Amino acid sequence: MAAGPKVKISRALGIALTPKAARVMERRSFPPGQHGLARKKSPSTYKMQLLEKQRLKAMYDVPEVQLRAYYERATHSHESTGTALLALLETRADAALYRMGFARTIYAARQYVAHGHFSINGRRINTASHPIKVGDVISVNEKSKAHPQIVDALTHSGSIVVPEYYEVNKVKMEGRLLAKPLRDQIPVKLNEQHIVEYYSR
């Protein structure tokens, strides 16, 4: 059975983007391809910066133009640019749903939003990049509460650690952003300073 593109991308970037990729990478943590085990161990500074940027893009499934726009917004923040960038990405509607356990992957979360299964403060949304503000409630629409994949994700979300800036009510099928994410609370393992350096070249 073919591993699939998400698995190949995960192995190339060194991060598990889906549960399936995580299972495969437990057995094959090296990059894909004939020379995966023999690749150079010490990449250049530029390659390190590029790799971290590519990882961030893949983690949040955002195109380059959108990621650069988030970076530009982050440069005007009063906090560090890297932290502000992660906070902007982390409070997108699709990322929020993924972190809360309403979807098994961020790709699924994006699809659910696009199909109109969720609302923010009672207003239906269909844009994955819709920003979540402190105090906002994101909820499953009444007609979508029996959606099998959403129900399955919530049912199996017991092992998911919801970041402390979010709270989830599984009975009501809704969640709330309690506070702006702090860097040490965001479950993203990468060096965001490399990304800042990449874009500020």
Q: What is the CATH number of the domain that holds 68?
A: 1.10.1050.10
Cα 161 to Cα 11, 30, 81, 192: the distances in Å are 24, 27, 26, 22
pLDDT at site 179: 97
Instruction: Identify whether the C-beta of residue 9 lies closer than 8 Å to the C-beta of residue 58.
Output: yes
Phi, psi of 170 (to 5 degrees): -70, -30
Residue 170 shares a structural domain with residue 192:
no
If you average pLDDT over residues 158-175, what whole number do you get?
93
In three-state secondary structure terms, 108 is helix
For residue 121, pLDDT beyond 60: yes
Q: Does the residue 78 lie in any domain?
A: yes
Q: Which residue has the tokens 């092992």?
A: 159
Q: Is the pLDDT of residue 153 over 50?
A: yes
- Give the predicted TM-score (pTM) of the model: 0.82
Residue with more model confidence, 83 or 29: 83
The answer to whether residues 97 and 141 belong to one domain is yes
144: CATH:
3.10.290.10
Confidence of residue 197 (pLDDT cuts 50, 70, 90): very high
- If asked whether residues 130 and 193 sit together in one domain, one would say no
- Total number of domains in the chain: 2
Q: Are residues 100 and 59 in the same domain?
A: no
Residue 11 has pLDDT above 70, yes or no: no
In this structure, are residues 52 and 194 in contact, taking their beta carbons and an 8 Å threshold? Answer: yes
Given this model, what pLDDT does residue 43 score?
A: 74
| Of 27 and 97, more confident | 97
Tell whether the model's pLDDT for residue 129 goes beyond 80: yes
Residue 156 or residue 145, greater confidence:
145
Q: Are residues 194 and 140 in the same domain?
A: no
Domain interval for residue 20: 5-31+42-86+188-199
Distance CA 34, CA 39 (A): 10
pLDDT greater than 70 at residue 36: no
Q: Are residues 13 and 74 in the same domain?
A: yes
Does 36 fall in a domain?
A: no
Tell me the per-residue pLDDT of 66-102, one tens digit each, with 9 for 90 and over: 999 999 999 999 999 999 999 999 999 999 999 999 9
* 11 lies in the same domain as 82: yes
**Do residue 69 and residue 96 come from a single domain?**
no
CA distances from 80 to 59, 152, 183, 193 (A): 20, 38, 10, 9
Work out the mean pLDDT of the chain and round it to a whole number: 87
Task: Identify residue 117 by its one-letter amino acid code.
Answer: H
**Does any domain span residue 37?**
no
Q: Same structural domain for residues 192 and 155?
A: no
